[in-house]
A and B are shown apart, each in its own frame.
Chain A
Amino acid sequence: EPEVTQTPSHQVTQMGQEVILRCVPISNHLYFYWYRQILGQKVEFLVSFYNNEISEKSEIFDDQFSVERPDGSNFTLKIRSTKLEDSAMYFCASRDRGLGTQYFGPGTRLLVL
């Protein structure tokens, strides 16, 4: 069964460093998403991506964040200068066209020290 994959599973970084989180969505899906979940809190929407551009973003997704689909399979989230409060689980999701269901990856646990 097709699934969304994410790498790395864990990432530890120093405050101020850049990180790139990677996702491989399900192959025939067209819409891509990043969500995050701070420990003990709700899953929060960050950004959606369709047709090689951002379609919607939340207030959390400020200028420190960017997304890219560098090739036909990968979808990345970059945090330019990490802060302590960026420590969270980051989930990638994808869905097909129309009313398709979103399928989530296993997540990347980011720890900023």
Chain B
Amino acid sequence: DAKTTQPTSMDCAEGRAANLPCNHSTISGNEYVYWYRQIHSQGPQYIIHGLKNNETNEMASLIITEDRKSSTLILPHATLRDTAVYYCIVWYSGAGSYQLTFGKGTKLSVIP
């Protein structure tokens, strides 16, 4: 089972920042936090990942708390095309096949 907890759904006004929370209270030291999204039934799209430090790329920012038990994905200026299901995934970086375990995610609706 997924080791993360996310709200089932969220709304965000177009042009505003979308802040998607994720709890991963049982995360261990060598586990990364990954974020993917899935638009309709398309393939999951990688957004961003982090271990300890906050991260930013052209799509989003990832804020990880100091105790690493939770994180927030920030889409700075949400557009209608950001409407999707967002998955927060804790991913073990040790030996193995490194498969991703998806939960139900957060359905983000960006409203005009």
Give chain A's interface residues, CB within 8 Å of chain B: 4, 6, 31, 33, 35, 37, 39, 42-45, 48, 50, 55-56, 58, 89, 91, 93, 95, 99, 101-107, 109
Size category of the binding interface on chain B: 20 to 34
What residues of B have a CB within 8 angstroms of the CB of A42 in the complex?
102-104
What residues of B have a CB within 8 angstroms of the CB of A45 in the complex?
99-101
B45 interface residue (CB < 8 Å to A): yes
Interface centre among A48, A91, A101 (most CB of B within 10 A): A101
B38 interface residue (CB < 8 Å to A): yes
Q: Which residue of A lies closest to B105 (CB)?
A: A42
What residues of A have a CB within 8 angstroms of the CB of B34 in the complex?
101
**15 A-B pairs (CB sep. < 8 Å):** A35-B102, A39-B41, A42-B102, A42-B104, A43-B44, A43-B100, A45-B99, A45-B100, A45-B101, A55-B97, A56-B97, A99-B93, A101-B34, A104-B45, A107-B42
B 9-45 binary contact with A (CB < 8 Å = 1; else 0): 0000000000000000000000010101010011111
Total A-B Cβ pairs within 8 A: 59
Q: Main SS of the interface on chain A?
A: strand
Contacting pair A48 B103 (CB below 8 A): no
B68 interface residue (CB < 8 Å to A): no
What residues of A have a CB within 8 angstroms of the CB of B93 in the complex?
99
Contacting pair B97 A48 (CB below 8 A): yes
Contacting pair A95 B98 (CB below 8 A): yes
